[in-house]
Amino acid sequence: MDPMNVESGLSGTGSVRAATTPAAQKKDSQLRKAAQEFEAYFVQQLFSQMRKGIPSGGLLHSKGEDMFRDLLDEQVSQDVARGNNGFGLSDSLYRQLSLDEGRRGQ
């Protein structure tokens, strides 16, 4: 063994949250779910504002069509948020809130 070459088995403390108690894991999953729900709400608001920019009307326009579009936007936004990366907002929000939670626990 070379005394000048010291290797450590430590790879950082980035994954400390992985080895926590079941209560902390539950809180962590609730935080991730809240971040995804926020992203879904944000995307739904984007869709809503984009639809306002599209002229509506015509012979077949009705309140039922408006309601269907709102439901469609809600479902698509939830699918986007639950997707692999979505817009990435939920991941960023989760990371930031996890860091804040870690600072409060110290």
Predicted TM-score (pTM) of this structure: 0.68
Q: What is the pLDDT of residue 3?
A: 54
Q: Which domain holds residue 88?
A: 18-105
DSSP H/E element including 23: helix 22-52
35 found inside a domain: yes
Distance of CA 38 to the CA centre of its chain: 7
**Cα(44)–Cα(52) distance, integer angstroms:** 13
Q: What is the pLDDT of residue 106?
A: 52
56 found inside a domain: yes
Count: domains in the chain: 1
pLDDT tens-digit map of 55-94 = 877 777 888 888 998 999 999 999 988 887 678 898 899 9
75 found inside a domain: yes
78 found inside a domain: yes
Phi/psi of residue 68, nearest 5 degrees: -60, -45
